[in-house]
Amino acid sequence: MQYRQLGTSGLKVSVLGLGTNAFGGRADKATSIRVLHHAVDMGITFIDTANIYTNTQSESIIGEAFEGRRDQVILATKVGIKNGDGPNDGGSSRLHIMREVENSLRRLRTDYIDLYQIHTFDPTTPLEETLRALNDLVVAGKVRYIGASNYAAWQLMKSLSISERFSLAKYVSVQPGYSLVDRGIERELVPFCVSEGIGIIPYFPLAGGILTGKYAGGAKPEGSLLDKNPNFAARMDDARMAMGDKVVEMAKELGTTATALSLAWLMHQPGVSTVIAGATRESQIDDNLQAVGLELSSDVLNALDEASEEFIYVRPFGSQPRRK
């Protein structure tokens, strides 16, 4: 396994991380725990979850899996997306953050969170309020580092400016959707992160399976996102599916898999600290690990860049389709 600094912080994370939004959903508890243990045994240290994943089950399963092994992993979770019917059951207010961090700590069976991330920008809460709350958690020792998720470059810049002005803890990372079929962050967010030393943590690196070849020929594998989530079909447009086929072809020529090639391409991008890839069975961990150490020549990287250039200028893969 390779390990990298998370941005310019002192925290080292495995270049391949594990996403857990399927734990307690598409993967039952016993399977999820096996996947978690296998991931750590193979050198993966960065485990990413959120308080809303599978109605809190993901955090609870992770807590059970690593009880007694807490020091072997870097636990990252998130707060901010609405998780109840009350007026304060969402957002990044001090009230919501302080309440939810306690809930996450309890479910994760730990007294500290390595990376606590605001799940999405909250336009109704002043950034200073959010950052002061997060700073208090760092000072209290309940949180080691803070990060953002789904922030635009200007939102991240404003956050860093406020932290600098008031000597508050700074975001060390940002988590955006990023893949060969979703390159929009290269317009502004990537150069900003490289300039300011913010670690990039891509999610949806395989575009829900499009970049693995699993949907080739109209296939609909049992247990896949397409099988479990009919809304996912709206993201499978012709251009992205064609790019998936292209990646499969290139991978065959290189003697590797589409999965490994897609993940390795991300690992070669500027500013990327760790790539979050989900898994619902142990064999998927092994498949994803083939990307680690897969060196891509400048010719291969250029070919992938050119083939996927159009995806710098399209709607983000994870965004909801426009209403018709």
Residues carrying an active site annotation: 53
> Could you tell me the two tokens for 69?
């092994």
Q: What stretches of the chain show up as alpha helix (H) in DSSP?
A: 29-41, 57-65, 94-108, 127-140, 153-166, 189-196, 225-228, 238-254, 258-267, 282-289, 298-307
10-20 burial: b if 16+ Cβ within 10 Å, else e = ebebbbbbbbb
Closest CA to 39 of 277, 294, 293: 277
80-89's contacts with Cβ under 8 Å and 24+ in sequence apart are: 80/118, 80/119, 80/120, 80/122, 80/149, 81/50, 81/52, 81/119, 81/120, 83/51, 83/52, 83/56
Q: What span, in angstroms and rounded, lies between the C-alpha atoms of 58 and 62?
A: 6
